[in-house]
Amino acid sequence: MMMNTTKAQDLDPRAYSWIPAKITFLVTGFSYSYGGVITDPTLPIKDIHADIETPSLALGHSFGLFGKTAQVTAAVPYSWAQASGTVGGGEKSTSRAGLCDMRFRFSILLLGGPASTFADIVKAKKRTILGASCMIVAPTGQYYPEKLINLGTSRWSFKPELALSQPLGARWLIDLYTAVWFFTNNDSYYPGNSVRSQNPMGAFQTHISYNLTPTLWTAFDLTYYTGGSTTVGGVVNEDRQSNMRIGATLVLPVSKINSVKLSVSRGAIIRYGSDFTTVSIGWQTLFFKKPSATKPQAK
């Protein structure tokens, strides 16, 4: 079982917002997740409960690409995890501390988000945005082939996604995302010489957000993900997921270039997999070059 499987359940409202080009942003965050995990009945560990604390650091940059607004982001998480469960009829516990798998994301606004400046975006009317992205999760996390509890996954993951962001009046916004996770094989799965493969997993998100002020907003979040059954050593597991999570998000501006993001989410319907409650806080800082004042020309 990998402790960072909750990342496939991320809830991310306004991930396709129209922002100015040539902006760099730094995000520092901390999340706390706790809950149970429904495991494959063939594994020797049952009734798993885990507590995971994860600080993270992310760096992103926006730019113009063929006249469209695009972004690249890289995130590095680190986790402390404590897990307990029943092994051979007895209660056991363990802990892990180390890097989790790094995440890279590229996104582009295909419709409604031309590469623009702050001034252009402020003056523009709210518009429908169609976006696309691809997230890559690299196998950089701590991984012990002979152990079931790990922070890393020892495989690559890819998530192409399409998104629609639709304003509803002056203050409301609805986001709709549809994506598919693809996974490479883990060739060193427990007890170290097994091959674990996973079928693609569909993921769908809906976010309804409301602007209290132009920069202060809140959102109700929902995600549903399905599929992702696994095969270990040629044996197909009965672990197809069909789960739903709900959550809420609040973004508070601190200054013109700083903001705080608070979010909470929990499992609503869990057929198989992680039934975690997650609470997180993030601090975002923007870096951009101020436009130079135009000097008056001599007559």
Q: Is the pLDDT of residue 39 over 90?
A: no
Cα gap 247→12, rounded to integer Å: 10
At 46 the pLDDT is 76
- Tell me the mean pLDDT in the region 68-74: 98
Compute the mean pLDDT over every residue in the chain, rounded to the nearest whole number.
90
pLDDT band at 289 (very low <50, low <70, confident <90, very high): confident
Q: Is the pLDDT of residue 9 over 70?
A: no
By C-alpha distance, which of 182, 221, 226 is closest to 203?
226
pLDDT number for residue 298: 47
SS3 6: helix
pTM above 0.85, yes or no: yes
Written as six digits, the tokens of 207 are 């976010």
User: What per-residue string of b and e applies to 39-53 under the rule 16 or more CB within 10 Å gives b?
Assistant: beeeeebeebebebe
Among 11-15, 47-51, 149-153, 209-213, name the one with the lowest average pLDDT: 47-51
CATH class of 5-287: mainly beta
Q: How far apart are CA 211 and CA 217, in angstroms?
A: 4
Q: Which of 201, 203, 131 is nearest to 162 (CA)?
A: 131
pLDDT tens string 192-227: 999 999 999 999 999 999 999 989 999 999 999 999
Average pLDDT over residues 254-260: 95
Q: How far apart are CA 295 and CA 4, in angstroms?
A: 53
Measured distance between the N- and C-terminal CA atoms of the chain, rounded to whole angstroms: 74
What ranges do the domains of the chain cover?
5-287
Q: Which of 25-39, 154-168, 242-256, 264-278 has the lowest mean pLDDT?
A: 264-278
Strand-pair partners of 274: 37
In this structure, what DSSP letter does residue 152 have? -
For 159-172, the pLDDT digits (tens) are: 999 999 999 998 99
